[in-house]
């Protein structure tokens, strides 16, 4: 993976690591909102919400537009396809490991049955 990809992953996962930012993304998935509206919804100060939105914006997950005194937030164009693929590779790895563990357990159960019959 090129350096740019790692930086982008770091930004994405850093943005998604916070429950408030995940909540903001969920909210913006339903409707655009001003920073003031988001701050009220999440019981935060404007400054705190601006920081959260800034992190999401840096990751490309949110865009903002200022009209007059109101800054409106929208979902960004960037989707998390590469991050989802990365996570899916780990899911497949763990699924394969659990499948192997299931085989070992099944073999042990069969051996236990056979040994139990011998006693």
46-68 confidence digits (pLDDT tens): 999 999 999 999 999 999 999 99
Averaged pLDDT for residues 70-81:
89
Q: Which of 31, 28, 84 is nearest to 56 (CA)?
A: 28
Interhelix angle 81-118/3-16, nearest 10 degrees: 80
77-100 confidence digits (pLDDT tens): 887 888 888 889 888 889 889 888
Q: How high does pLDDT run on average in the chain?
A: 88
64 three-class SS: strand
Q: How confident is the model at residue 3 (pLDDT cuts 50, 70, 90)?
A: low
For position 78, what pLDDT does the model report?
81
């Amino acid at each position: 993976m090129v350096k740019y990809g790692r930086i982008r992953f770091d930004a994405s996962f850093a943005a998604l690591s916070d429950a408030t930012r995940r909540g903001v993304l969920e909210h913006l998935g339903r409707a655009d909102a001003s920073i003031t509206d988001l701050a009220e919804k999440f019981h935060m100060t404007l400054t705190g919400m601006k920081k959260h939105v800034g992190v999401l914006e840096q990751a490309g997950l949110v865009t903002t537009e200022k009209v007059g005194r109101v800054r409106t937030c929208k979902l960004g164009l960037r989707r998390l396809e590469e991050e989802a693929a990365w996570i899916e590779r780990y899911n497949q790895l763990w699924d394969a490991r659990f499948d192997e563990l299931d085989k070992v357990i099944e073999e042990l159960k069969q051996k236990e049955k056979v040994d139990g019959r011998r006693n």
